Amino acid sequence: MSKIICGIQQMGIGVPDVPSIWKWYREHFGVDVRIFEEAAEAPLMTRYTGETIHARTATLALSMEGGGGFEIWQFTSRPTEKATFTVQLGDYGLFACRIKSKDVKATYEFLKAKGADLLSEPQQLPNGQTHFIVRDPNGNLFDIVEGGGWFMDTKFAGKTGGVAGAMIGVSNIEKAMTLYADILGYTTIEYDFTEVSPAFAGIPGSENSVRRLLLSHPELRKGPFAKLLGPTQIELIQTPDRTDARSIFENRYWGDWGFIHLCFDVQGMDILQAECESKGYPFTVDSGKTFDMGEAGGRFSYIEDPDGTWIEFVETHKVPVMKKLGWYIHLRNKKPGAFLPNWMLRAMRFNRVKD
């Protein structure tokens, strides 16, 4: 078999308090289905946690509308630390999480009525998509973008689904393409332009011109959860006039405040590992076998992009469908690239958390 990138499984988000921010995500984005919740130590991540094993609690949540989920993550053995500097436009790392919307203007009015921190009004991009940026209570940026690939109609009033990609700050777009295009398959260029963008008006550093390159994958993703995860886009941003850009996670631990990693659901981890190594992106962390997440399990690994942004790969082996009934999906012996039936994916809605 060859490696299969099934889609973006989740965006990791480090927070100071999981229950309060997840309640905000449920109310504002409709991300209300709990796939797992686990408290444990993270012994395999000491490379990124000061060579010390730290404990954390993590909740994986998603929207049945479709799209990737949030892995909402909080240290329990130490405080969840903020950056010691003000993050600016063009700093390197996961700058904003893309959330797809069926009707961007309706989503804008919904969030406005809720008093959300809206940084821009809906604007049209060169590829015809409409978008705006909103900031969550912890200061994380979300790019609400017109999207497709919807899985279920949950009647959520905000008209949004889950994660549909990311906006990633890089020092050199051409160099970053060796990962995002060559390995992850985002080979279609939707637009490439440079401007002082009004969409970033409320963000530090917005006075700088920014190059924005939007990438998409030309073919429908395959794999068990691909229909649910849906199509995604990666926007690489670079501020050519800045000479003081720095890593967003400079001097911080993996798991600290802010976006932690962008996680891809994959199949064929061994083949993916060989490809990554051959192209200069060796695994920096590798569970090597099934890693038990309590209610879910699989093999996971990490690489770093050219600027140190953490990209996670998960080859899912087990995931709960209906925990109360002891119903789990086991995937180790499934045909590579095969879709799970819609009825099985739809059953995950019974894990919805209602306020």
DSSP E strands, the chain: 4-14, 33-41, 55-62, 69-75, 93-101, 117-118, 123-124, 130-135, 141-146, 160-169, 188-195, 210-216, 233-238, 258-267, 285-286, 291-292, 297-304, 310-322, 327-330
- Whether the CB-CB separation of 22 and 61 falls below 8 Å is answered with yes
pLDDT at position 298, please? 81
* H or E stretch covering 276: helix 269-278
- Whether the CB-CB separation of 209 and 241 falls below 8 Å is answered with yes
Task: Report the distance separating Cα 329 and Cα 345, nearest Å.
Answer: 10
Closest CA to 7 of 127, 143, 163, 145: 163
Task: Report the distance separating Cα 91 and Cα 263, nearest Å.
Answer: 20
Answer positive or negative: Cα dihedral of 234, 169, 124, 141: positive
Q: What is the DSSP track for 202-256?
A: TSTTTTS-EEEEEEE-SS---STTHHHH---EEEEEE-TT-S---BTTTT--TTS
Task: Report the distance separating Cα 341 and Cα 325, nearest Å.
Answer: 19
At 20 the three-state DSSP class reads helix
Q: pTM (2 decimals)?
A: 0.95
Task: Report the distance separating Cα 329 and Cα 332, nearest Å.
Answer: 10
Identify the structural domains of the chain with CATH numbers, from first to last: 4-351 (3.10.180.10)
pLDDT at position 329, please? 73
pLDDT at position 289, please? 72
pLDDT at position 202, please? 86
Low-confidence ranges of the chain (pLDDT < 70): 1, 290-296, 320-327
pLDDT at position 284, please? 97
pLDDT at position 319, please? 73
DSSP assigned state of 171: S
